[in-house]
Amino acid sequence: MKVLVACEESQTVCKAFRELGHEAYSCDILPCSGGHPEWHFKEDIFGVIEREHWDLMIAHPPCTHLAVSGARWFTEGKKPWGLQIEALEFVKKLMDAPIDKICVENPVSVISSKIKKPTQIIQPWQFGHEASKKTCLWLKNLPKLEPTNIVGKGESIIYTSGRAMPKWYAEAWRLPREERAKLRSKTYLGIAKAMAEQWGRL
């Protein structure tokens, strides 16, 4: 199977498919950090889609202007609405790409209210990682992912305000901004392997 992993610099999903013998490539405007630049397109995703035939695309559009957690920056006037509109148009274009099988992945975001509800919502703890992070999947011609290893939901940090935050998310704040964003957007290995094993059989 020829697989394109859009908006992925970590190559986590790309390598999971490669390990099972698929011809998989990552694509991002950033250089890859996964150690295999020969499997990476450092360019605009739509140029790659137009240039070659792909059997499956798994896309991780940037959630900076889409996540529900940051929606208040728009309503409070601290960010122009145009950024969110552009991000939504990017997602729509990915969903409408001329590829038979597509998965668009994002955390809980305005995609659900502005475009359509997700096909499935998964958690890392369903795939062997003791962490909670709701991940939405919009699927085209793909079955829902089946959990592979259900474990504990991970620790949370409770602040004096009463707000609870997953430990992994709180710890990310200690990192520089760029590294923090990369950590939060990286696909958990258990989920990547489930995608490769379950969708790679189709």
3-state secondary structure of 80: coil
Calculate helix-pair angle for 189-199, 12-19, nearest 10 degrees: 40
Tell me the one-letter amino acid at 11. Q
Number of H helices, E strands in the chain: 8, 9
Q: Is the pLDDT of residue 71 over 70?
A: no
Q: How far is CA 122 from the centre of its chain?
A: 12
Task: Give the β-pairing of 56-59 and 40-41.
Answer: unpaired
Q: Which of 189, 202, 201 is nearest to 15 (CA)?
A: 189
Q: Which is more confident, 67 or 52?
A: 52
pLDDT band for 84, please (50, 70, 90 cuts).
confident
3-state secondary structure of 177: helix
The domain ranges of the chain are 2-149+187-199
At 26-65, the pLDDT tens digits run 999 999 999 999 999 999 999 999 999 999 999 999 877 6
**Using CA atoms, how far apart are residues 193 and 125, in angstroms rounded to an integer?**
14
Question: What does the pLDDT read at residue 124?
Answer: 96
The two structure tokens encoding residue 42: 């450092």
**Using CA atoms, how far apart are residues 89 and 43, in angstroms rounded to an integer?**
18
CATH architecture of 2-149+187-199: 3-Layer(aba) Sandwich (3.40)
Tell me the one-letter amino acid at 51. R
What values do phi and psi take at 119, rounded to 5? -70, -35
H helical segments located in 115-174: 167-172
